[in-house]
Chain A
């Protein structure tokens, strides 16, 4: 493989990483909202949140992406390829992240919350000082896992017109007739990115653990 083609693959990998990162961040924000709605005692909030989670976890991402790209414009919302890709990935990961966060919030020990009540913390203070930090620490491994899942799932976004790592490999293996080479290189790049993310995740976990022991 010439240097030029390898550079193209790396450029495409950059796009994969960038779009995945944006999607994860937006997905986390939506996921928090959905999680809050789902934990709410008000059915008006919790039922739509439950439907949301079920729907976005129940439909293949491939189909979600095609629907977002082709259905939203019909409703008057024009979405360029990159936006459709981010929307698809973010809405999908939000459903999973909401469930992870819910698990995290539910695992905060009751005793801690009761103690906070006793010392007179307001519910907002409790959320900020106790429930959110603990839930975040508990869900960090799941978040890292979700990052890796979305990185890999982004291999599908070429169906809405984004040229990312998988699409580039597909294009170049067709034009050079060397699918084995280009798909292997793409696989290797995905692997390297995923390992980096996983490594970063365990580093963050270790740092947080030492932080809490102090």
Chain B
């Protein structure tokens, strides 16, 4: 008796779950560019703990290269930008779930990600290097972290590269995974870890802001790589991503992107229009 009731309940539940499934896939097929244009808003997922791309400044405002770039993209496309900010490990799942139209980030262009997502034109260099405590002379070059405790942001390409690099060292390294890079920097300052791996533009900015606390370890240990904004590979999203990419290329060609890079990194980057196929 109980079993029959349970089966009935399970059947009812599956119907409930299946109904919106059919409905949802129909709704999804709408062309993304049309949808964004008619709504007048482009929703962009990102995290706000990734200075100087996306961060909260000391007045509490959301600023950074992404904010400036998307303001221009919004102008080019005639839409408002709606930011959705999540911890980074939730951003790519959110994109896959369709919670926002695209992702700022930016995300390091990696082999695995290129297979899964569509990257737009690169906006900066992403080559990974180490940040150490200022005045720590036990770490002069990247391989000095052998056998030591290091950290990076959860679910980031930088973490993956750090772990891969650690395996090539004579002594394995231990890595801690933080909700965001800010927490990793704080732990480095507190002396709980000896180095944080992040892309050069990020850690150069952090070291410049707090020269008494942090210093960059050169050269970068990672392969040369780039940062880009990303979207899904769903066919209905491609028109939108084409339009955003076109706007980005225009902003790059007329020198606006270079100016923004100077504003946030103190230098402009020579990025290719199309990301080269990454080796890792």
Contacts and interface: CB of A to CB of B under 8 A. Distances in A.
Contacts of A48: 9, 13
A73 interface: yes
A112 interface: no
A163 B46 CA distance: 13
Interface string A169-190: 0111011110100000000000
Nearest to A77: B20
A124 to B, nearest CB: 27
Interface residues of B, number: 42
B93 interface: yes
B5 A47 contact: yes
B59 A69 contact: no
A102 to B, nearest CB: 20
Interface stretch (A133-141, A154-162, A205-213): A154-162
B138 interface: no
Contacts, number: 96
5 contacts: A5-B59, A47-B6, A66-B90, A69-B99, A161-B45
A139 B8 CA distance: 33
Contacts of A71: 97
Interface in B69-91: 84-87, 90
B210 interface: yes
A75 interface: yes
B39 interface: no
Interface in A35-87: 43-44, 47-48, 66, 69-81
Interface in B153-186: 180, 182-183, 186
